[in-house]
Structure 1
Amino acid sequence: MRSKIYILLLLLCIAFNAAAQFTLQIEITATPSAHKQDGVFVAGSFNKWNPGDSMYRFHNENGKLVAIIKGLAADTYRFKFTRGSWQKVQSTNTGKDVDNQLLQLSADTTVSYTIDGWLDDYALPQKHQASTNVHVLDTAFFIPQLNRIRRIWIYLPHGYNQTKKHYPVMYLQDGQNLFDEVTSAYGEEWGVDECLDSIIAKGKQGCIVVGIDNGADTRMSEYNPYEFTWKDSTQSKTFLPEGNAYLDFLTQTLKPFIDKKYRTLTAKENTIIAGASMGGLIAYYAALKYPEVYGKAGVFSPAFWTAPEIKQLTDSVGKKVSSKFFFYCGGKESENMVEDMNEVAEKLGGNSHAMIYTAIDTEGRHDEKAWRKWFADFYVWMMADGYNNVIKLEQ
């Protein structure tokens, strides 16, 4: 009887902790001497990284800036400070980027920070970073399935124009963050072009990369096949599912266009889809929905928490899948991200004939810097000599 009571109390405690909501008080004790009249905001994983959200503006209290965020669940949160836009984000005292602040919240908490600099005080004329192998294919490519337009990038491997060789194709989400710091949403790019230039120069297999810009305000809908409600301490918003229409665009409109315009290898073994966060979710879903089209998938830091139905789908369609999957997640992302990714990867491994590579970086954060670090490993494994032989990247 005592053991039953103990188990019941334990379950009640777990349920209470899962449902508990906490208050986070952030204090800024020092800021640069310039721009004292400007408002300061906190942007993070609790407010969709909105750099100028009035609900997250600091107020002055006894000589320090204070922001109080209520109703947060126990989790790992990431955030930065801005003066209302990402061009005016915090920096070091020499103008260098700073990593996201990282906080594990499990109780009412007060934390203090200082801001050493503002990026716009050190900003030089912006110089584009994309290599000469990157071009904008179209600034307004029409998406008939969604009645929208989108910028599309193309990376052609070195030597493409001097040969008649055909190449595999990779379709990468969040195109504005792939090649150029100037266009990247957070000032940090994946460095896909530099990475591939280096690998190809060492004699490895080249690849065409198609980067598709996200739709900004429509990103959460376009990259999710399921309805999802975002909740934070002050508001909630429901995103209607547009993932199926977006995938139909990639599969029925964009891929045929690319295959016709460029010298591509069109078979599933030579068609890769990849992305990070919500982009990782839609890349994984694409490989499940269209296993005859996308034979390889790069699933970086997937936002499976926005689509719990993906686990049931993995169970139901896994037996039809025999593709290659690269799963990556960082240990310093949100609390359940590694667990969610591992659960999906294990389900896929148990229900399919898929070839799976899982990587967990204990120091990895949810940002372009982490995905850039692991892109080479992902690419070399996907481009392995033969389907089962892994080629190690030369150091």
Structure 2
Amino acid sequence: MKWIYFFVIFISSFLVVNAQVKVRFELQNIPQSKDTIAEYFVAGNFNNWKPNDPEYQFSKRNSLTYVLEKQLSINVYEYKITRGSWEKVETNSKGNAIGNRSLNLKKDTIVKISVSNFADQFKKELPKHTSSVNVHIIDTAFLIPQLATKRRVWIYLPPSYASSTKKYPVLYMHDGQNLFDQLTSGYGEWGVDELLDSLSAKGQEEFIVVGIDHGGSERLKEYNPYDSEYGKGKGKDYVDFLVHNLKPFIDQHYRTEKDAKNTAIAGSSMGGLISMYAIATYPKVFGKAGIFSPAFWIGKTIETDVQNAFKNLNGSKIYLVAGDLESKTMISDMKNVFQLLNPTGKNKNIRVVEKADGKHSEWFWHREFVDFYKFISN
């Protein structure tokens, strides 16, 4: 009878984790818009941030209230209100961008929402470049033969680079649009250049940082070494490009320390997944990795690859970090990989960090970057 008891417990736990609950969004106190016929939508991590998803469009109940009713899984969600495009996303009363709304959904819930204004209601100054003088574009169309495409590639050279003859360690990072420049970022920048300028001024070890732009709608495939519901994974080809094309180019044209001990790779979300894959597959190329809010959920085979690579990662330094306010399996998935990398918990070169206030956002990765950077600098 004991097996029946455990079976019931297992099924009950499964049903709780995958339970669907009702959520009712009530949009109230809506500012007047320029639209002839106003349409309102909610875009979030429950619908891949689609700003005009007809399945997530509000219905008008009266002149002041719009309602949307959905059934969603128990989870932590982030979202924003739009009028059908990101050019018409909600803002504060002065037209400035606001952070994502957050919903920790555990039971049937009514969410009442007031919108201060929308982005298109204001005439704004054109955004300006925010990258520091130490950031340069290597090529706006660097060839990636393995993917039959071209991408912009950025490089950050340390403040001392021009006046010295020394060689520098290199950090390769994904989502290059979001690393250095507010103008090119979609959801805010990491501010890697400003952080490194500041750390350099304090005497911290200096790194060259190379950033590779992602492929927009192709990102979910290019940063995934495995096939998924989003299509055939192209991550193996992408990492092959980093190892056999981009790194040799950087080593040839810049003063770099070429060995694995001085070569790191880092990224967030899908970038975290592909960084973990890269160091597991090429530990003799990448000796250090920063795994920020990794999307291990989309590529669970990463656990098998990490387990198979365990003996080859003995000398590697790997930093994993995520927040409690991300997806419901983010922390557990990350800790599963950490356990494979550091089964005894005694390997100080493998570190896992969990932050209670952490969200799936550039501001969080910006904040946590400094501790990661100090970790790989030691």
With normalisation by structure 1, the TM-score equals 0.89
Counterpart of 1:41 in structure 2 is 41
Change (3 A) 1:335 1:313: same
Cα distance in 2, alignment partners of residues 131 and 32 from structure 1 = 38
Counterpart of 1:174 in structure 2 is 175
Counterpart of 2:77 in structure 1 is 77
Cα distance in 2, alignment partners of residues 41 and 145 from structure 1 = 39
Counterpart of 1:86 in structure 2 is 86
Change (3 A) 1:86 1:350: same
Using the TM superposition, give the Cα deviation of residue 84 of structure 1 relative to its aligned residue in structure 2, in angstroms: 2.8
Counterpart residue type for residue 190 of structure 2:
W
2:356 matches 1:375: no
Using the TM superposition, give the Cα deviation of residue 15 of structure 1 relative to its aligned residue in structure 2, in angstroms: 2.5
Counterpart residue type for residue 370 of structure 2:
A
Aligned counterparts, 1:205-216, within 5 A: 205-216=205-216
Cα distance in 1, alignment partners of residues 83 and 181 from structure 2 = 23
Aligned counterparts, 1:1-395, within 5 A: 6-35=5-34, 37-63=37-63, 64-70=65-71, 72-122=72-122, 123-186=124-187, 188-229=188-229, 238-321=230-313, 322-350=315-343, 355-384=349-378
Using the TM superposition, give the Cα deviation of residue 185 of structure 1 relative to its aligned residue in structure 2, in angstroms: 1.1
Change (3 A) 1:166 1:4: closer
Cα distance in 1, alignment partners of residues 28 and 11 from structure 2 = 39
Counterpart residue type for residue 172 of structure 2:
Y
Counterpart of 1:232 in structure 2 is none
SS in 2 for 1:325: strand
Which aligned runs of 4 or more in structure 1 are off by greater than 4 angstroms?
A: 3-8, 351-354
Are the equivalent residues in 2 in contact too, given 1:319–1:353 (CA < 8 A)?
A: no
Using the TM superposition, give the Cα deviation of residue 6 of structure 1 relative to its aligned residue in structure 2, in angstroms: 5.0
Using the TM superposition, give the Cα deviation of residue 273 of structure 1 relative to its aligned residue in structure 2, in angstroms: 0.3
With normalisation by structure 2, the TM-score equals 0.93
Counterpart residue type for residue 365 of structure 1:
K
Range with greater deviation from structure 2 (7-16 or 42-51) = 7-16
Change (3 A) 1:283 1:366: same
SS in 2 for 1:209: strand
Using the TM superposition, give the Cα deviation of residue 98 of structure 1 relative to its aligned residue in structure 2, in angstroms: 2.2
Change (3 A) 1:302 1:17: same
Cα distance in 1, alignment partners of residues 192 and 41 from structure 2 = 31
Cα distance in 1, alignment partners of residues 112 and 330 from structure 2 = 27
Cα distance in 1, alignment partners of residues 353 and 341 from structure 2 = 15
SS in 1 for 2:162: helix
Range with greater deviation from structure 2 (162-171 or 28-37) = 28-37
1:277-316 Cα distance to aligned partner (Å, 9 max, x none)? 0100000110000000000000000011111111122222
Range with greater deviation from structure 2 (49-58 or 130-139) = 49-58
SS in 2 for 1:84: coil
Using the TM superposition, give the Cα deviation of residue 54 of structure 1 relative to its aligned residue in structure 2, in angstroms: 3.1
SS in 2 for 1:161: coil
Counterpart residue type for residue 302 of structure 1:
P
1:361-389 Cα distance to aligned partner (Å, 9 max, x none)? 101111000000111111111112xxxxx
1:131-171 Cα distance to aligned partner (Å, 9 max, x none)? 11112221111110010111111111113222212111111
Cα RMSD of the aligned pairs, angstroms, is 2.0
SS in 2 for 1:294: coil
Are the equivalent residues in 2 in contact too, given 1:168–1:208 (CA < 8 A)?
A: yes
Using the TM superposition, give the Cα deviation of residue 23 of structure 1 relative to its aligned residue in structure 2, in angstroms: 3.6
Counterpart residue type for residue 377 of structure 1:
D
Counterpart residue type for residue 366 of structure 2:
R
Cα distance in 2, alignment partners of residues 38 and 260 from structure 1 = 56
Counterpart residue type for residue 364 of structure 1:
G
Cα distance in 1, alignment partners of residues 320 and 13 from structure 2 = 29
Using the TM superposition, give the Cα deviation of residue 353 of structure 1 relative to its aligned residue in structure 2, in angstroms: 6.6
Range with greater deviation from structure 2 (6-15 or 320-329) = 6-15
Are the equivalent residues in 2 in contact too, given 1:326–1:356 (CA < 8 A)?
A: yes
User: What are the ranges of 5 or more consecutive residues in structure 1 without an aligned counterpart?
Assistant: 230-237, 385-395
Counterpart residue type for residue 280 of structure 1:
G
Q: What is the identity percentage for the equivalent residue pairs of Structure 1 and Structure 2?
A: 43
SS in 2 for 1:50: coil
Using the TM superposition, give the Cα deviation of residue 124 of structure 1 relative to its aligned residue in structure 2, in angstroms: 2.1
Are the equivalent residues in 2 in contact too, given 1:348–1:354 (CA < 8 A)?
A: no
Change (3 A) 1:248 1:4: closer
Using the TM superposition, give the Cα deviation of residue 104 of structure 1 relative to its aligned residue in structure 2, in angstroms: 2.2
User: What are the ranges of 5 or more consecutive residues in structure 2 without an aligned counterpart?
Assistant: none
Range with greater deviation from structure 2 (188-197 or 5-14) = 5-14
Using the TM superposition, give the Cα deviation of residue 99 of structure 1 relative to its aligned residue in structure 2, in angstroms: 2.1
Cα distance in 1, alignment partners of residues 97 and 354 from structure 2 = 24
Change (3 A) 1:309 1:4: closer
Would you say how many aligned residue pairs link Structure 1 and Structure 2?
373
Cα distance in 2, alignment partners of residues 281 and 354 from structure 1 = 21
